[in-house]
């Protein structure tokens, strides 16, 4: 049987470190000082509305913890459970969820309007590899100096690039000129 207040933190892990996204605070046993509570048994059956002292007495008899699971309800809802086992199973579920999580990254391919065939094919292979790994790809063309007068060359280059990647990708955002860069986004086809 546990005593005291317990809490669980759910963390979001990223390259910059871990950040807390939620805190779950449960009041346990003697900490529950409400005048009356609604008690739920360990198998989910309703045991009725009673004083917190009576509920704590029932929890002691059964060798379980009294845990406040819904403090905002009127009256607050408490449940009889083995809190240590509950926390262990919850941390196991969270660990499993983190393991199955896949973070989609955005990879960038940069080209210039005067790119040669060999370089184009190399960048195309890299983009196809990124897409088959499940990542999104941002393809951008950088215009320098007088190249700004011929942005249609960049648009054709991006269109050709998208056509070459059509079997593994779909176009999210069409080619768009922003300042001196024209870019488009490709995302992997689902079911691949």
Reading the chain (192 residues) residue by residue, the pLDDT tens digits are: 444 444 444 444 444 444 444 455 778 888 888 888 898 988 889 888 988 888 888 988 988 988 888 888 888 899 998 888 888 988 898 888 888 777 778 889 999 998 999 999 999 999 999 888 888 999 999 999 888 888 899 999 999 998 988 888 888 888 888 889 999 999 888 754
Record the tokens describing residue 56, joined without a space: 């704590």
pLDDT of residue 124: 92
Domains contained in the chain, CATH given = 6-100 (3.10.20.80), 106-188 (3.30.110.10)
pLDDT of residue 140: 93
User: Which DSSP category does 105 fall into?
Assistant: P
Strand partners of residue 67: 28, 79
3-state secondary structure of 11: strand
**Rounded-to-integer distance, Cα 164 and Cα 158, Å:** 10
- Cβ neighbours around 149 below 10 Å, total: 9
């Amino acid at each position: 049987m546990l005593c005291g207040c317990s809490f669980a933190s759910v963390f979001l892990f990223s390259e910059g470190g871990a950040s807390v996204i939620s805190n779950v605070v449960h009041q346990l046993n003697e900490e529950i000082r409400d005048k009356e509570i609604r008690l739920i048994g360990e198998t989910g059956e309703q045991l009725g509305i009673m004083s917190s002292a009576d509920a704590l007495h029932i929890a002691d008899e059964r060798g379980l913890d009294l845990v406040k699971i819904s403090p905002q309800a009127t009256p607050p809802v408490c449940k009889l459970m083995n809190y240590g086992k509950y926390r262990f199973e919850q941390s196991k579920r969270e660990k499993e969820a983190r393991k199955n999580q896949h973070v989609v990254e955005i990879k960038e391919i940069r080209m210039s309007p005067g790119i040669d065939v060999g370089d184009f094919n190399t960048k195309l292979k890299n983009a196809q590899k990124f897409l088959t790994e499940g990542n999104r790809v941002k393809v951008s063309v950088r215009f320098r100096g007088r190249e700004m007068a011929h942005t249609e060359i960049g648009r054709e280059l991006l269109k050709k690039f998208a056509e070459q990647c059509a079997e593994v990708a779909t176009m999210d955002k069409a080619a768009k000129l922003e300042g001196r860069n024209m870019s488009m986004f490709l995302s992997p086809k689902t079911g691949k």
